[in-house]
Amino acid sequence: MQNRFTFALCLEHMSKEDKNNGAEIADVLLIGAGIMSATLGLILKELEPNLHIEIYERLDVAAAESSDAWNNAGTGHSAFCELNYTPEKADGTIETHKAIQIAENFEISKQFWAYLLEKNLLSNPETFINEIPHISFVWGEKNVSFLEKRYQALQKCNLFEAMQFTTNPDQIAAWMPLVMNGRPADEKVAATKMDLGTDVNFGSLTRDMFNYLKDTSNVSLNFNHEVRKLKKNSDGNWEVKVKNRSTGEKKKRTAKFVFIGAGGGSLPLLEKADIPEGNGFGGFPVSGQWLRCTNIEIIAKHHAKVYGKAAVGAPPMSVPHLDTRMINGKQALLFGPYAGFSTKFLKSGSYLDLPKSIKLDNIRPMLSAGIQNLDLTKYLIDQVRQSPEDRLEALKEYLPTAELKDWELEYAGQRVQVIKRKPSGGGILEFGTEVVSAADGSIAALLGASPGASTAVSIMLDLLERCFPDKLESNAWQHKIKEMLPTYGKYLAEDNDLLKATRSRTSKILKIETE
């Protein structure tokens, strides 16, 4: 059994120089300048202020891919309104485990952001988080029944205690007048509402986090730099080959720990790392588009995130929603996303990304998953073939009086859904995130998408448990983590007084207090 990587080893050799270019070996090398790398970098820097951290991003700005506000399908996932997190089981009951977990994890994220503000590592919460009600809306007898059962099931958990439910059209119209305007008077409708909902601009948050991080000691942020190869050396460190995309210059860097947080680009890099734990993983790319409202009057009349039920065969990122967002200080209104298929793994990627990702160890799982998800493939093809009129008809289900002249098409980001190898050798398509780490903890990669950014802090805590177990158990790290996350090790869903106190504190700091 290999010795697990620990920061004790890391700090022991901080003075050692990289024999390739005379530069100090990096303690931590982060690939990708998105919300995941920003979160991990800040957590580690708070835990170990002397760490030497290097960040490499292939584009010229941070958060330009999946973390960007225009590319992110769900900004502020807290499971309040996303119906795909509460599926109806065969016996008619509602599964709430995932929704509770996501809601709990979002509270952890809010605690971390509140800590950053209290310590003046971030300055203005209004640049990245704003109070926006979260509403689930359905129509038709079957869906109304589902929503009521969902509401009753979630009421058993204190995290959702403040949720309101109604089948009264007048009440729903008060919550979202544009959605009810022009709708048949005899149509059966239902909605739930959580005033605790928020809109999070992860692009803005990520850039703010990196702006602080890059100005701290022993941290370098390198844009227009693409990681081309990764190889583990005999001494346990990682040799990373990097190319400057602006000048063409190539260099080698050595790091004791590598995190691959490159969104859709993580899978190819994991394959290049060639660790046994990465064998059998594949990826299924899904693209997206929005209809963006251009009419200022319409934008001003809608103030909510309204989520509905996904079409049969649709991936989670394609759950339709009429979504109020705050982008660059202005209110925006989006509808979608409309899913599509592209062989690119990144919005700025190559059409060869998918074929290049197919290897001997993952070809069977990928073929197996593809056969099992033919409905999804058909759905994506149908979405790609949609005309502007088709997209308008989908919008009218949520905004009956919508006119095409008030909306324009906006291209969203790329997602790569995880394909995992089953013990039988086949594969399964998973809609979530997956941390893949080496046995010795020297490298880790994040694959997948939703809920992603909203639960970034919890995902990084999982990574710390995998990759730095000894340091995580130390008194110093335990004390600091509890300072950053006061409820660390406790469950808000099991302690109503703690939940109320925590929400009250974080809401005040984040300036998202409800009236």
Q: What is the pLDDT of residues 479-495, one digit of tens each?
A: 999 999 999 999 999 99
Neighbouring CB atoms inside 10 A of 100's CB total: 21
The reported pLDDT for the residue numbered 10 is 44
Preceding amide of 365 cis, omega within 30: no
Ranges of residues in the chain with a pLDDT under 50 are 1-3, 5-22
Residue 263 to residue 58: CA distance in whole angstroms: 12
Q: What is the CA radius of gyration of the chain?
A: 23
Please check whether residue 436 is in contact with residue 94, taking contact to mean a CB–CB distance below 8 angstroms.
Answer: no
pLDDT digits (tens, 9 = 90+) for 390-448: 889 889 999 999 999 999 988 877 777 777 787 877 877 777 788 999 999 999 999 87
The reported pLDDT for the residue numbered 1 is 40
Residue 452 to residue 448: CA distance in whole angstroms: 8
pLDDT digits (tens, 9 = 90+) for 333-357: 999 877 777 787 777 778 777 777 8
Question: In which residue are the tokens 């710390």 written?
Answer: 464
Please check whether residue 281 is in contact with residue 393, taking contact to mean a CB–CB distance below 8 angstroms.
Answer: no
The reported pLDDT for the residue numbered 318 is 61
- Closest alpha carbon to 408 in 287, 288, 290: 290
- 512 Rama sector, left if φ>0, alpha if ψ -120 to 50, beta otherwise: alpha
* β-strands 321-327, 305-307 pairing: antiparallel
Element (H, E) at 435: strand 433-437
Q: What is the DSSP letter of 488?
A: T
Please check whether residue 444 is in contact with residue 428, taking contact to mean a CB–CB distance below 8 angstroms.
Answer: no
Please check whether residue 115 is in contact with residue 172, taking contact to mean a CB–CB distance below 8 angstroms.
Answer: no
The reported pLDDT for the residue numbered 7 is 43
Q: Per DSSP, what are the bridge partners of residue 132?
A: none
- Closest alpha carbon to 238 in 3, 474, 30: 30
Neighbouring CB atoms inside 10 A of 504's CB total: 11
Please check whether residue 6 is in contact with residue 468, taking contact to mean a CB–CB distance below 8 angstroms.
Answer: yes
Element (H, E) at 467: helix 456-467
The reported pLDDT for the residue numbered 313 is 56
Question: What is residue 266's three-state secondary structure?
Answer: helix
Residue 338 to residue 383: CA distance in whole angstroms: 7
Instruction: List the domains of the chain with CATH numbers.
Output: 7-510 (3.50.50.60)
The reported pLDDT for the residue numbered 6 is 46
Please check whether residue 35 is in contact with residue 202, taking contact to mean a CB–CB distance below 8 angstroms.
Answer: yes
Cα–Cα separations (whole angstroms), residue 428 to 86, 276, 284, 432, 478: 20, 19, 11, 12, 37
- Closest alpha carbon to 417 in 373, 466, 383: 373
Q: What is the pTM of this model?
A: 0.90
Element (H, E) at 301: helix 296-301
Residue 2 is which amino acid?
Q
Please check whether residue 401 is in contact with residue 414, taking contact to mean a CB–CB distance below 8 angstroms.
Answer: no
